[in-house]
Amino acid sequence: MAWTRYVAIGDSFSEGIGDEYPDGSPRGWADRLAEALAAREDGFTYANLAVRGKLLRQIIDTQLPAALELEPDLVTVSGGGNDLLRPGTDVADLAAAMDDAVARLRASGADVVLFTGVDPADSAVIRMTRERVSRYNDHLREIAARHGAHVVDQWNMDILRDWRMWGIDRLHMSPEGHRRVALAALEALGVPDAGDWRQPELAPLPTLSRGAQFLFDVRWARAHLVPWIGRRLRGHSSGDTVAAKRPTLGPVDLPG
């Protein structure tokens, strides 16, 4: 399949937070995916409507209609992660909203790629969401099968449990994490000779003492978790003043 009109919708994951260009603007796996597809197809165009901090319903209500207006033939959809961080989130309601979104995209003729959540078992705080994430992932796989969508199964990408795949905030991927997700997306789409997200294998990280791990967790909580909770209590989002980085379809500047 050759795609020429690719649109990404979602939250900070698709916006590319944690993987920056030299000027500090976000790159991320979606840009990397677009670069790989553009190198294979003349006339390829790409838009990215994702905005950090957005909940799934916000993505569906604002980004989905804008994406459909662009008449894409490929759409990647990431959403629900910010919802699942909130206690009391109804996973079934979240899945129903995603099911409707994928149905609308598929009815337009676009191919769709979904992303399961990463297994948070090794995160001191986020692992409390593990059961919700697992249930939502099961729904996502069922939605993809029902509508003929593709899935990047991050839950089963063991490499993403390596902290070198993540930034200092432990919420957003590092450049290497984004690179591997882009390769996994190419694999899910069946693009040949795109590279293997499993490579290179990494040597195990040294094991921290319990005291060192506790200190690391405390510093992380002060620098990143507490401000995040504060924004939520005030009803603010990191994306409140952020606009989509690529609101219209356009050609991709290839690296090098």
pLDDT category at 233 given cuts 50, 70, 90 is low
CB 124 within 8 A of CB 162: no
Label residues 92-121 b or e (16+ Cβ within 10 Å = b). Answer: eebbebbbebbebbbeeebbbbbbbbbbbe
Phi, psi of 205 (to 5 degrees): -75, 150
Neighbours of 69 (CB within 10 A): 10
Distance CA 252, CA 31 (A): 8
Q: Is the pLDDT of residue 231 over 70?
A: no
Give CA angle at 153 (150, 157), nearest 5°: 145
pLDDT category at 241 given cuts 50, 70, 90 is confident
Q: Residue 65: which region, alpha, beta or left (left: phi > 0; alpha: psi -120 to 50)?
A: alpha
Phi, psi of 75 (to 5 degrees): -135, 130
**Residues 42-58: pLDDT tens digits?**
999 999 999 999 999 99
Q: What is the pLDDT of residue 246?
A: 97
Q: What is the pLDDT of residue 207?
A: 73
**Residues 162-187: pLDDT tens digits?**
989 998 887 899 999 999 999 999 99
Q: How far is CA 1 from CA 39, 40, 110, 126, 229, in A?
A: 14, 11, 12, 37, 43
Distance CA 141, CA 127 (A): 21
CB 110 within 8 A of CB 72: yes
Q: What is the pLDDT of residue 86?
A: 84
Q: How far is CA 29 from CA 14, 210, 227, in A?
A: 7, 34, 26
Q: Is the pLDDT of residue 211 over 90?
A: no
Average pLDDT score over the chain: 90
Distance CA 25, CA 19 (A): 8
Q: Is the pLDDT of residue 138 over 90?
A: yes
